[in-house]
Amino acid sequence: MSIHLRYALGRLLRKCGYRITREYRWPEIHGNLLLLGFSLLRSRHHGLIQIVQIGAFDGQVADPLADILRLENVSAVLVEPQTIPYKALVAHYEGNPRISLVNAAVAESDGEVILYVPSSRESPKASLIAGHHRRFGVTAREVHQVVVPSMSVASLLQTYHIEHVHILQIDTEGMDYHVLNWFFDADVQPAMINFENLHLGRRERSASRELLRTNGYWWIETSQDTFAIKEFLARP
C-alpha cells in the first residue's frame, strides 16, 4: 500500500471515529532532545558551537533551536527558501552578528529549483517534492510553484566559511534523508543531528538508520523526528 493511500485511508477512518495505530509504539519524548544534547555537547566542547539549520522557516513556528540560538556561545547559519518566512527570520535575528541567514533551498546542485507551496503565500509544508501536498489533503489547484535559488551543501559550506558543524537541524518536508546524505557526502559529520522523519518512506527511514549506524551515531527515532549523536559524546 502506497504512503499516499495509507494517508487517505487514515483520514477517512478518522472521520468515521476510528484511528489506525501501529503495533509498535514510538518512544514518547517529553521535552526538547536538542536542548538536552546541546547541554551534553557544551560540557564536552568549550569553544564556539556551530549550528546549521536547513528549513528554518520563520524561526518561531515549532523551531527546536529557538532557545539555543539565544545563547552567546553559538554561531549559526539558517537556510530558508521562502521569501516571507525569510524576511521574518531577518526581523527576528536582526543585529545578531553570530547568525547568518540564507534565502535559498539546499539541493543537489547550485542554480534554481521549484518549491511546491500548498498555500497562496507561505507554508511550513512547502517542499521540493511535487506530490508532497497530497499528504495533507491539499489539491493540486491549491499548490503554487515558486522558483527559488538553490545551493549545494558544498557551496553552502564554502560561501559561509563553515569548517565544522556541531549541530545539524533538518526539516525539509520529505527531503530530509537526501539533505542528510548530501552533508555526509561533503564529509560533514556533526556531533549532533536532528531531522524530520515523518514524511520519509520505509526505504529512506531504513537508509537513514544505516547511514547513522555506519558513521558512528546513536539515535532515538520518534514518530516525528530522528535525534542522533556521535557515540563518543554518549560515552564517559
Written as tens digits, the pLDDT of the chain (236 aa) is 555 566 666 667 666 766 555 555 667 777 889 999 999 999 999 899 999 999 999 998 789 999 999 999 999 999 999 999 999 999 999 989 999 999 999 999 999 999 998 876 788 888 888 866 677 666 767 788 999 999 999 999 999 999 999 999 999 989 999 999 999 999 999 999 999 999 899 999 999 999 999 999 999 999 899 999 999 998 88
The CATH number linked to 73 is: 3.40.50.150
Q: Count the domains in the chain.
A: 1
The whole model's pTM is what?
0.87
Range of the domain at 146: 3-234
Give 125-134's long-range contacts (Cβ < 8 A, gap of 24+). Answer: 125/173, 126/81, 126/82, 126/173, 127/172, 127/173, 127/174, 127/175, 127/199, 128/172, 128/173, 128/174, 128/175, 129/173, 129/174, 129/175, 131/4, 132/173, 132/174, 132/199, 134/4, 134/7
